[in-house]
Amino acid sequence: MITNLTDRQKINWIRIIAIIPVLILMLYAPKLWVSTKNFPTVPLYNWLPVLQYPLDYILAVGFFLIQVIYIFKNKTWLGWTIILFYIFLALIDQNRLQPYFYQSFLTILAIEIFNKNTNPKKILYVIILIFFATYFWSGIQKINADFYVIWLRALNKHFSFLPQWFLVGFTYAVPWLEAIMGVLLLFNKTRKFGVLFILLMHSIITFLLFYLGYGYNVVPWNFQNILSVIILFWTLKTSSPFDFFLKYFNKQKLIMLTFTIIFPFANSINGFYDNLLSFHFFTADLKYYYIEINDELKEKLPKYMNEYYRKNDNTTIVFCNEWAAKVNKVLFYPEDRVIEYTDNFLRSFAKNPNKEGLTKVVHYNKIEK
């Protein structure tokens, strides 16, 4: 039974469960992991290499195989090699920084930064910080005007048969319900209620993804969280709700507190850290764009771009989310530097890339105040 495991066994299962969804999603979305495709790879820094065929394929296959080996061989050097793969792959293409990729990276990091002989309870409490942050911050970051407007609009579109008062009430309740789920995990008396609420939430999300017919790339992530939350929390007992933050305090815990508490908090205050890496999961306040392309540039762009053109008031546009979804099967990474790089990529095909009016970037999901 997954609810009757030792702390060491729990850590091992969480490690395996963190790897399997990434493997599934590499098979589901193989082009996300290579550079040879009809979508630009976006390095964090321009001096980083964009690997070309066959090196990009060798890197992707290597990443896949070493994860398979790591499932069966729990070796520290394998874990750190995978962590380095995660970092390098994200640095050379930021569009790989999807929620499941980030969470699995943090989980493996939380395990491998400790010595194998460390008290497993110390490791377990650090892993738990990741799951607390996932639900707490994902709820807190949804408390914004964009979420209320866009989510209510989506609910009215797909569930108009339900009473309006229910749709409005549910929309305003969602952020608080999700944040509370994270808080419920902290207390012995409420922990199982938190687990049950989380299981219900992920089950509903998974059902809706199939019902609506898109977003399949996050289905394995939902199952990852369902299994992980049961293993971590169902039989867990603590002496204080603050144990996860303060007990066994050491440099390893400080590292994970930085990723799970300090950086997300800094993002809320001044935008210091990327939104998606601050657990802005499905919060509607992420920046999504389309790019208007004039006829002069359109004639110079590769023929494969014809598949991604749309018309808006006789203007040719490319929705970056739609383009990314068709090629990478994930959404476009929603940061200004990524859209700037993509815009420059399209302009690079022009005779004079710096000519004004070739393109116009539009942040289309911005709610006008």
Q: What is the pLDDT of residues 238-250, one digit of tens each?
A: 998 899 998 988 9
**pLDDT category of residue 213 using cuts at 50, 70 and 90:** confident
Q: Which residue has the tokens 């409005």?
A: 168
Q: Is 309 left (phi over 0), alpha (psi -120 to 50) or beta?
A: beta
Among candidate residues 39, 43, 130, 24, the one with its CA nearest the CA of residue 87: 43
The residues, ordered by sequence, that sit 6+ positions from 84 with a Cβ below 8 Å of its Cβ are none
As a whole number, mean pLDDT of residues 109-121 equals: 93
SS3 call for 358: coil
Among candidate residues 28, 181, 182, 17, the one with its CA nearest the CA of residue 104: 17
> Tokens standing for 246?
């303060």
**pLDDT category of residue 145 using cuts at 50, 70 and 90:** confident
Query: % helix / strand / coil in the chain, to the nearest 5?
Result: 65, 5, 30
User: What is the reported pLDDT for 25?
Assistant: 93
**pLDDT category of residue 304 using cuts at 50, 70 and 90:** very high
Burial of residue 52 (CB within 10 Å: 0-12, 13-18, 19+) is: exposed
Cα separation, 282 vs 6, in Å, equals: 34
Cα separation, 226 vs 229, in Å, equals: 6
Higher model confidence: residue 58 or residue 212?
58
User: For residue 367, is pLDDT > 90?
Assistant: no
With a threshold of 0.85, does the pTM exceed it?
Answer: yes
Q: Backbone phi, then psi, for 318, in 5-degree steps?
A: -125, 115
Cis omega (within 30 of 0) for bond into 163: no
Query: What percentage of the chain reaches a pLDDT higher than 70?
Result: 99
User: For residue 368, is pLDDT > 60?
Assistant: no
Could you tell me the CA-to-CA distances from 18 to 61, 214, 268, 286 in Å, in that order?
Answer: 18, 23, 27, 25
As a whole number, mean pLDDT of residues 178-198 equals: 96
User: What is the reported pLDDT for 1?
Assistant: 67
